[in-house]
Amino acid sequence: MALHETPARSDIDLLIADLRTLVECESPSSDPVALARSADLVATLGAARLGAEPERLGIHLRWRLGGPTRVLVLAHHDTVWPLGTLRTHPFDIAAGVLSGPGSFDMKTGLAMALHALGSLDDRTGVTLLVTGDEELGSPSSQTLIEDEARGADAALVLEASADGGALKLERKGTSIYRVLVKGRAAHAGLEPEKGVNASVELAHQVLAVAALGDPALGTTVTPTDATAGTTRNTVPAEASFAVDVRARTDAEQQRVDAALRSLAPVLPDAAVEIEGGINRPPLEGALSADLFDRVSRIAAAAGLPPLTGVAVGGASDGNFTAGVGTPTLDGLGAVGGGAHADDEHVLVDRIADRTALLRALIVDLTRTV
């Protein structure tokens, strides 16, 4: 296949057949047995398309395709959908729209990576890393991703595109906390004054935490699920609430982290503790800019659809590659919509051009970086 050539119809049919196999192997992030079964399948498909067996790292798989890693191609095979979803959301293609659990996020991107790399005569310097816990925040793969990215000149993330096929040039960093409030129990009717009401202290802390956001900078600090008390007639001795933080820059992420750790109780004898911390650093635009310029030139030269880029609030494993300073381009996968929703779908007629774009970008990077 020539550098900019769109895959033949037969190649796309095979890609879609592989995609169907991936989608119909359900792989919820929280089910170790299902993930192991999915990892086995990805290993089998990858060996067939790449002509090489992967390194098995638990539920994660790595193909180092020759020489030190210069270009890291990153995908994941886990999804948010529980076992049994296929009964109500089966794999289907109708009127050019492909659907099925995990099809958009991100098994199409995974199938694209396998086929794009499989079509290359020279893959020297390319590593494909497929993880199995991205939807959980990558607790067991974060170090693996970061270590692999540190030796790379570029990281290409096969997460689905934004609306209309836009690449994701910025991703907010995410931090996850739980604020624990300690009070003192007492009978709510007989002697409430002897208690320290953890629910009241929680209310003070929720307001303080919500005030830490900065809309002008795109920083959101959102108190979410909360719990307090034991019975209706008992002054609550304990309460807690979760906090979701999204920030565009490392400085903002660090500011909010320091502020949360400085929270002090308002009520006498109450106590406040903080659990959690920074989960994913931000993918800042500076780390995507050069790669976006490069891939835009490639698309124009090949007569492929013009590219756009956006900033998004959601995080991905691209945050980790950017966090160690590796130039990162995200959203190279499927064009469609409905991630994590009942209408999850992929536009079939965009699979070919996106695969061609990925292939051409990898060739260009390995030749010149």
Contact between residue 104 and residue 336 where contact means Cβ atoms under 8 Å apart:
yes
The enclosing H or E element of 158 equals none
DSSP three-state, residue 324: coil
**What is the residue extent of each domain of the chain?**
9-171+282-368, 173-280
Task: Tell me which residue of 23, 18, 78, 24 sits closest to 47, measured CA to CA.
Answer: 18
The strand ranges marked E within the chain are: 55-57, 60-64, 71-76, 92-94, 97-99, 126-131, 154-157, 167-171, 173-182, 220-228, 238-247, 271-280, 309-312, 328-329, 336-337, 345-347
d(CA 121, CA 2): 11
pLDDT digit string, tens, across residues 90-122: 999 999 999 999 999 999 999 999 999 999 999
280 Cβ contact list (under 8 Å, min separation 6): 137, 138, 171, 173, 174, 315, 316, 319, 320, 323
DSSP three-state, residue 135: helix
Per-residue confidence at 1, pLDDT binned at 50, 70, 90?
low
d(CA 192, CA 327): 58
pLDDT digit string, tens, across residues 167-218: 999 999 999 999 999 999 999 999 999 999 999 999 999 999 999 999 999 9
CATH 1.10.3720.10 fits 173-280, yes or no: no
Asked whether residue 3 carries a pLDDT value surpassing 80, the answer given is no
Is cis: bond before 112, omega within 30 of 0?
no
pLDDT digit string, tens, across residues 312-337: 988 999 999 999 999 999 999 999 99
Q: Which superfamily does CATH assign the domain made up of 9-171+282-368 to?
A: Zn peptidases (3.40.630.10)
Asked whether residue 129 carries a pLDDT value surpassing 80, the answer given is yes
DSSP three-state, residue 118: helix
Q: Note the Cα 228 to chain centre separation in Å.
A: 31
pTM for the complete prediction? Answer: 0.89
pLDDT digit string, tens, across residues 210-244: 999 999 999 999 999 999 999 999 999 999 999 99
